[in-house]
């Protein structure tokens, strides 16, 4: 239900067709990351969840790099909507 609200905020004209887009995948990873970080605040020694969190963070970072190279405007909009930091440049 939460995904549907944010999906419509990302692209209202393609509500059902954008589930494979980079923006939607970053959105899903961000919700998973937020859920896992709140879980790890309670369970500090859950090492398998820590590993899963690191894997999801890496996937999201790769998707954001792809999006920033492909379309910088969409990347900036997505970062501002999701309240996440901008990527570090090398």
- pTM here? 0.79
User: pLDDT per position in the chain (90 positions), as tens?
Assistant: 465 555 555 544 445 568 899 999 999 999 999 999 999 999 999 999 999 999 999 999 999 999 999 999 999 999 999 999 998 876
Q: What is d(CA 29, CA 79) in angstroms, rounded to the nearest whole number?
A: 13
Domains located in the chain, CATH noted: 18-82 (1.10.287.10)
Q: Look up residue 69 and give its two tokens.
A: 């190279």
Q: What is d(CA 60, CA 45) in angstroms, rounded to the nearest whole number?
A: 24
Backbone conformation region of residue 25, classed left if phi is above 0, alpha if psi is from -120 to 50, else beta: alpha
Q: What is d(CA 3, CA 36) in angstroms, rounded to the nearest whole number?
A: 17
């Amino acid at each position: 239900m939460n995904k549907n609200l944010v999906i419509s905020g990302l692209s209202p004209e393609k509500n059902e067709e954008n589930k494979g887009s980079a923006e939607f995948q970053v959105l899903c990873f961000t919700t998973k990351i937020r859920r896992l970080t709140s879980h790890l605040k309670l369970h500090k020694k859950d090492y398998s969840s820590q590993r899963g969190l690191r894997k999801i963070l890496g996937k999201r970072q790769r998707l954001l790099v792809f999006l920033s190279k492909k379309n910088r405007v969409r990347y900036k909009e997505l970062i501002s909507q999701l309240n996440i930091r901008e990527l570090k440049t090398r």
